[in-house]
Amino acid sequence: MNKTPFLSLEKAQEIIKDYPTPFHIYDEKGIRENVKALKEAFSWNEGYKEYFAVKATPNPFLIKILQEYGCGCDCSSKTELMMARTLGATGDDIMFSSNDTPIQEFKYCNDLGGIINLDDITHIEAVEKACGKLPKKMSCRYNPGGLFKISNDIMDNPGDAKYGMTTEQIFEAFKIMKEKGVEEFGIHAFLASNTVTNDYYPMLAKVLFELAVELKEKVGVHIGFINLSGGVGIPYRPDQEPNDIRVIGEGVHKVFDEVLVPAGMGDVKLCTELGRFMMGPYGALVTTAINEKHTHKEYIGVDACAVNLMRPAIYGAYHHISVLGKENDECNNKYDVTGSLCENCDKFAIDRMLPKIDMGDILYIHDTGAHGFSMGYNYNGKLKSAEILLCEDGSYKLIRRAETPKDYFATFDCFDFYDELIKE
């Protein structure tokens, strides 16, 4: 089986004349169609809002596209809050879901009017100290512990995750927050990552909806919103069936009507914090084959490396690879596709069957639109790539320039040897 690139060889060659490889490229048409489908899937819930997970793809040009459709920003650090602020997001357009949070970041979010989503019960005191008093609207992150299963399949292990409060803690947290003047409450949970099943969100929703009813009955708090967070994944492998967001939306709707409506909580607003689902399939890493090596294995070296895409190196994650212009050729050559870092794990593919690759061929690495560029680093002095938007009309534009040595050495600008460092 195969996957179809959204970029043709001819368009790639055109772009490369202006912006050499490697670079990340994003498909504006695909992004827009996807966010429209998401909004349609949850249109039955009045007040539904998607808070795009900024950490997945922190590029203001891409986030602005989502803002056109009413999306907010899910932030987890001050710099992400700063980006959201610069894009005009304030108040309920910001959800601040962080952990091990520096106390001053709570104040920064509160000054923007954003919603603070607490990861731990001890953060109640931290927020009060930072802000003088608790905001009128707050949220808490829930971790029920144990294993999260769908049928007999283990989806993930929340009990081993550092995030969220236990059942006992979340009840105590809401009691304390209510006593201290909080008036509107939200609950949040992330129990499994990158699920490729339409059943995950409805099952997560049931857990949170039942918790919300119990909190209302036992603590007397008004649950104004329930945040289903992320976890809706994408099919990285070509043989995986993609999620159907409309089926997922209807599944959540059914549980909403079964649990919340009979409890008199039909006014609860739903939120999501999707990063991978929103951007993952609509980004690709474009790189050129620059070296071949014939030793114990057949290697193809490219001009990208784990600096540009870490997931295969740190997770062993699969990313499909197309050789542009050879999409229909027979895959009868076995290669390791490697970068140039001094790390043996710097491989985009291991023992991958691909068409015969010649030097100068352009490789298209699929599904890098989320947790691709954003996880990059500078090991071996490697520089981060440019980001490019493929516009709906077929044109393209630079949305982040490539790093230069001057960027790499920027934090030495307070020393007298800086000028010598940045000489080419």
Helix (H, G, I), strand (E, B) or coil at 106: helix
What is the DSSP-derived secondary structure letter of residue 195? B
| Residues of the chain falling short of pLDDT 70 | 149-157
28-280 has which fold?
Answer: TIM Barrel (3.20.20)
Q: So what's the pLDDT on residue 38?
A: 98
Residue 342 catalytic? yes
Catalytic option among 71, 342, 345, 414: 342
For residue 109 the two structure tokens come to: 């979010």
* Helices marked H in 42-102: 60-67, 78-86
Amino acid at 237: R
Q: So what's the pLDDT on residue 2?
A: 86
Residue with tokens 């106390």: 103
Q: So what's the pLDDT on residue 162?
A: 85
Residues in CB range of 153: below 8 A, 6 or more apart: none
282-412 has which fold?
Answer: Lyase, Ornithine Decarboxylase; Chain A, domain 1 (2.40.37)
Q: So what's the pLDDT on residue 151?
A: 57
Domain parsing of the chain, residue ranges: 28-280, 282-412
To which H or E segment does residue 365 belong? strand 362-365
- β-partners of residue 299 are 293, 336
Q: So what's the pLDDT on residue 149?
A: 67
Q: Are 279 and 28 a contacting pair, CB within 8 Å?
A: no
Pairwise CA distance, residues 245 & 196, whole Å: 11
Q: So what's the pLDDT on residue 53?
A: 97
Q: Count how many Cα atoms sit within 13 Å of the Cα of residue 97 in the half-sphere of its side chain.
A: 29
Pairwise CA distance, residues 22 & 337, whole Å: 14
Quote the Cα angle for 128-131-132, to 5°.
70
